[in-house]
Amino acid sequence: MIFFSNPKITSDKLIEPHYQQTAERIKRSNAKYVLALQDQMRLNYTSHPAKTELGRIGKSGKTEQYGLIQHSVLCVTDKNEPLGLMNVKLFDYEDFDTDIHQHHRSIKDKATRYWIDALVNMRQRLGECQQRIITVADREGDFYEFLHELIVAKAELHSSRETIKNLIAMASISACRLYWLIYIGRTEAAIKADQLFEDFEWKAIYVYFKEKIPQECPMLSEVILRIARLGGYKFTKKGQPPGIKTMWIGFQQFTIAAQMYPNMTVID
């Protein structure tokens, strides 16, 4: 007890050599992949008579619970061989300013930050590593900042600004092509669908609506009308032609149907 209560001893210094050894075991491992299992557990000392300086970890009914929350990263091979821990953090909710509502706090002022911290710390401790690492988390890890960090770590993407700009550029090109497609469908009545679509694409739209696939390629306008229906368009003799938003929604559904069609067995 004298050793553990010595103010010169810290949990971070105690476990750091273990992290280093775990990193070496990961690098030496001949496993197909290594699973980095992230999770939290609550160490409840509410009823312990000797507890001091422990903060809130949750509630049981209306009763506050006191202790510590442990966030850990345990690494195991594809054959479930434990290689060791790569990160351990202990905290309680008193470490955060709860006077500010959580919806108005930055990620650094929330307990969920430890998911991101663990990922960053593991990456730094591993350094250059050829081993394939797969991060595993439960629903607590399902939030944007953590998932974004995973993507950055894997793909080394641009900044969020550049990523958004790239996405907008591609969406703009797609929107322009769709606008042109609508124009051709309205003005060129003699164009067949196979002049703009592959056979499997226009056939997929008929399968989706459980209609018999035509023996001959239909007109482009017929296919466009069905794409519009996917976007919520209701055809009437006196109605307006489908607009760009309706076509955009329909085209997304059409793309999914077309991708599925080659893997389907169609019976006429």
What pLDDT is attached to residue 248?
85
Q: What is the mean pLDDT of residues 62-70?
A: 88
158 pLDDT more than 50: no
Q: What is the pLDDT of residues 164-185, one digit of tens each?
A: 566 667 677 777 778 888 888 7
Q: What percent of the chain has pLDDT over 70?
A: 86
CATH architecture of the domain with range 161-263: Orthogonal Bundle (1.10)
Q: What is the mean pLDDT of residues 250-264?
A: 80
- Give kind and range of the element (H or E) at residue 12: helix 11-28
- Give kind and range of the element (H or E) at residue 70: strand 63-77
Question: pTM value?
Answer: 0.55
Q: What is the pLDDT of residues 83-132, one digit of tens each?
A: 999 999 988 888 777 666 666 677 777 878 889 999 999 999 999 888 99
Weakest-pLDDT range from 23-27, 48-52, 101-105 = 101-105
The token duo for 69 is: 């929350």
For the chain, the distance separating the N- and C-terminal CA atoms, rounded to the nearest angstrom, is: 79
For residues 104, 106, 110 and 112, what is the CA-based torsion angle, rounded to 10 degrees?
120
Q: Read out DSSP for 212-264?
A: PPPSSPPBHHHHHHHHHHHTT----TTSPPP-HHHHHHHHHHHHHHHHHGGGS
Other Cβ atoms less than 10 A from the Cβ of 249: the count is 17
CATH classification (class only), 11-157: alpha beta
Distance, in Å, from the CA atom of 164 to the CA atom of 176, rounded to the nearest integer, reads 18
Distance, in Å, from the CA atom of 128 to the CA atom of 24, rounded to the nearest integer, reads 11
pLDDT band at 19 (very low <50, low <70, confident <90, very high): very high
User: Residue 84: left (phi > 0), alpha (psi -120 to 50), or beta?
Assistant: left
Burial class (CB within 10 angstroms; exposed 0-12, middle 13-18, buried 19+) of 62: exposed
Domain boundaries, the chain: 11-157, 161-263
